[in-house]
Amino acid sequence: MPMGDRLLPPHEALEIILRHVRPLPVERVPLEEAGDRVLAEPLIADQDLPPFPAATMDGFAVIAGDVSPWREIIGEQFAGSQTSVEVTPGTAVRITTGAPLPPGADAVVPVENTELRDDHVVIHQEQVEVGENVRPVGADLRRDQVLVEAGTPIGPAEIGLLASLGKVEVPVFRRPRMSVLSTGDELVDPAQEPGPGQIRDSNRFSLVLAARRAGADVVWSGRGPDDPAALRRLLEERIAASDIVLTSGGVSVGDKDFVKEILDDLGTVHFRRLFMKPGKPLNFATVGDTLVFGLPGNPVSALVGFEVFVNAALRVMAGRRDVQPRPVPVVLTHDVQSGDRLEFQRGLVWADESGVLHARNTGPQASARLLSLVGANAFLLIPPREAPYRAGERVMAVIRGPIGPAPETPAE
Ligand SMILES: Nc1nc2c(c(=O)[nH]1)N[C@H]1C(S)=C(S)[C@@H](COP(=O)(O)OP(=O)(O)OC[C@H]3O[C@@H](n4cnc5c(N)ncnc54)[C@H](O)[C@@H]3O)O[C@H]1N2
Ligand code: MOO
């Protein structure tokens, strides 16, 4: 074992991974397909928006300083056109929200503050300020302004900005191609009835969904044979076709745990055992430019390994700037016994009225108990220590989902 038997702290493992991963090449995609991709060049405004002073209310375009007791309605200005009618003292133009202010006008009086008398309008407002209810040119964005930095995922607001500026072809980073392989002779497909000693393969489904959510293009997923020659051929083929290959199972010390030998032979294994629970046996290897993560077989260990390490690699490949979540302090609501490695306990975090975050774990934390991840919006980071952590103590937590109200049921 080239790494010796030291269990590597997770932060050191992350540093090693980040040293071996680079953003993927840039490609241009149609605007319609740009959502959830990562912008590869900064989006810079090439015009002012709005390009014309626009009404922010339905009402009447007027001259603010005009003191006429009533004003003649001399025209209409709807959004989507530009009237040539000029507002002069004693006149007003009916206007709708978003429509350009007609020439001469400098304010809009909302319809609620007016009264119609034949073809005249009376304004029931003590004073009208210049610019009232008008969005001036460039109020929303200014030409040459950097609107979105490169490395930002394109969400609804970002795609809206791209569309507003007419960017119909968007530069994005190529999505990482990923293969997901479950190993283990005990595995059968979910549709099958497991025989004696067999279990259904769940990791493949968990990891494929986690990968898709993280922006990967899952190009292949399947079960691998436990026969070393066949497994090696399959791994070679998947490595050649992928930016990242995930395997689950076969990385600890069992007689039939072949993944680590094959990876050693094909490329460079950078680490294989971590000072964390779950996820102690976790292999990270590179074969050419392809990253290979040999995740543990235990379902929770595989998913925690994915979230902590594979996610970070995917984010770098996808060009993202926010690679790692920053842990936040939370207050434990019950005692927690630590183990002999840094534990990533699956937890529930909520905020009280003053904004303090409280936390509890999700019950038994066995690495095979997928239920410990259901409803978990955080990982509670529990370093080893002799005395248990007490209710009221602060620990750090990685937030992984929305923070809701305090749970109604007591902790298990
Ligand atoms: N002597 C030692 N034994 C073990 C050690 C150790 O250090 N010394 N480490 C333990 C830890 S920690 C973990 S985690 C597991 C990881 O083992 P492997 O990665 O080799 O995984 P397997 O042995 O193949 O499987 C473990 C467990 O997970 C189930 N499994 C596997 N694949 C799937 C799948 N696709 N879907 C659902 N469940 C799966 C498998 O049936 C086993 O129950 O090793 C400990 N042992
Ligand atoms: O590290 Mo294993 O992942 O404890 O269960």
Give me the residue spans of the domains in the chain.
10-24+174-317, 26-48+141-173, 54-135, 328-399
**Which ligand 1 atom is the nearest neighbour of the CA of 294?**
19
> What is the structure's pLDDT at 255?
62
Least confident of 81-90, 190-199, 238-247, 393-402: 81-90
At residue 245, the 3 state secondary structure works out as strand
Ranges assigned E (strand) in 152-213: 169-173, 177-183, 187-188, 199-200
* Residue with more model confidence, 82 or 278: 278
Q: With a 6 A CB cut-off, is 106 part of the ligand 1 pocket?
A: no
Q: With a 6 A CB cut-off, is 283 part of the ligand 1 pocket?
A: no
How far, in Å, is the centroid of ligand 1 from the Cα of 298?
Answer: 5
Distance of CA 299 to the CA centre of its chain: 23
Element (H, E) at 295: strand 290-295
Token output for 249: 């199972």
Q: With a 6 A CB cut-off, is 177 part of the ligand 2 pocket?
A: no
Cβ density class 362-388: b for 16+ within 10 Å, e for less: beebebebbebbeebbbbbbbeeeeee
Beta carbons of 58 and 324 less than 8 angstroms apart: no
Say yes or no to pLDDT of 211 above 70. Answer: yes
Q: Tens digit of pLDDT for each residue in 158-179?
A: 999 999 999 999 999 999 999 9
Token output for 125: 């407002």
Structurally, what CATH architecture does the domain formed by 10-24+174-317 represent?
Answer: 3-Layer(aba) Sandwich (3.40)
Tell me which ligand sits closest to the C-alpha of residue 341.
Answer: 2
Q: Tens digit of pLDDT for each residue in 391-407?
A: 999 999 999 999 988 88
**Residue 135 is which amino acid?**
R
Length of the chain: 412
Mean pLDDT of 101-126: 95
Percent of the chain predicted with pLDDT > 70: 98
Beta carbons of 331 and 356 less than 8 angstroms apart: yes
Mean pLDDT of 237-245: 98
> What is the structure's pLDDT at 4?
54
Token output for 200: 């259904």
Task: Report whether the peptide linkage leading into residue 50 is cis, meaning its omega lies within 30 degrees of zero.
Answer: yes
Give 18's pLDDT tier (boundaries 50, 70, 90). Answer: very high
Pick the CATH number of 328-399 from 3.30.9.10, 2.40.340.10, 3.40.50.2300, 3.40.50.300: 2.40.340.10
Pick the CATH number of 54-135 from 3.40.50.970, 2.170.190.11, 1.10.357.10, 3.40.50.880: 2.170.190.11
Task: Name the residue of 8, 271, 283, 298 whose CB sits within 8 Å of the most ligand 2 atoms, as the mutation to test its pocket.
Answer: 298
Say yes or no to pLDDT of 269 above 80. Answer: yes
Q: Tens digit of pLDDT for each residue in 60-108?
A: 999 999 999 999 999 999 988 888 899 999 999 999 999 999 999 999 9
Entry pTM: 0.90
Residue 257 burial (CB count, 10 A): 18
Least confident of 37-51, 220-234, 355-369: 220-234
Burial (Cβ within 10 Å: 0-12, 13-18, ≥19) of residue 292: buried
One-character DSSP codes across 295-359: E-SSHHHHHHHIIIIIHHHHHHHTT-S--SPPPEEEEESS-B---SSEEEEEEEEEE-TT--EEE
Q: Tens digit of pLDDT for each residue in 302-357?
A: 999 999 999 999 999 999 988 999 999 999 999 999 999 999 999 999 999 999 99
Say yes or no to pLDDT of 3 above 50. Answer: no
- Across the strands, what pairs with 91? 72
Tell me which ligand sits closest to the C-alpha of residue 252.
Answer: 1
> What is the structure's pLDDT at 2?
46
> What is the structure's pLDDT at 184?
86
Least confident of 194-208, 215-229, 276-290, 350-364: 215-229
Q: With a 6 A CB cut-off, is 277 part of the ligand 2 pocket?
A: yes
* Residue with more model confidence, 183 or 156: 156
Q: Is the ipTM of this complex over 0.90?
A: yes
> What is the structure's pLDDT at 192?
96
Say yes or no to pLDDT of 25 above 70. Answer: yes
Task: Name the residue of 298, 301, 369, 373 whose CB sits within 8 Å of the most ligand 1 atoms, as the mutation to test its pocket.
Answer: 298
How far, in Å, is the centroid of ligand 1 from the Cα of 257?
Answer: 9
Q: With a 6 A CB cut-off, is 297 part of the ligand 1 pocket?
A: yes
Q: What is the CA radius of gyration of the chain?
A: 30
Distance of CA 148 to the CA centre of its chain: 16
Question: Alpha-carbon dihedral of residues 211, 216, 220, 225, nearest 10 degrees?
Answer: -40
Mean pLDDT of 289-300: 96
Q: With a 6 A CB cut-off, is 248 part of the ligand 2 pocket?
A: no
* Residue with more model confidence, 83 or 129: 129
Question: Alpha-carbon dihedral of residues 262, 268, 272, 275, nearest 10 degrees?
Answer: -170
Beta carbons of 400 and 380 less than 8 angstroms apart: no
Q: Does domain 26-48+141-173 have CATH number 3.90.105.10?
A: yes
> What is the structure's pLDDT at 167?
98
In whole angstroms, what is the distance from residue 111 CA to residue 93 CA?
A: 12
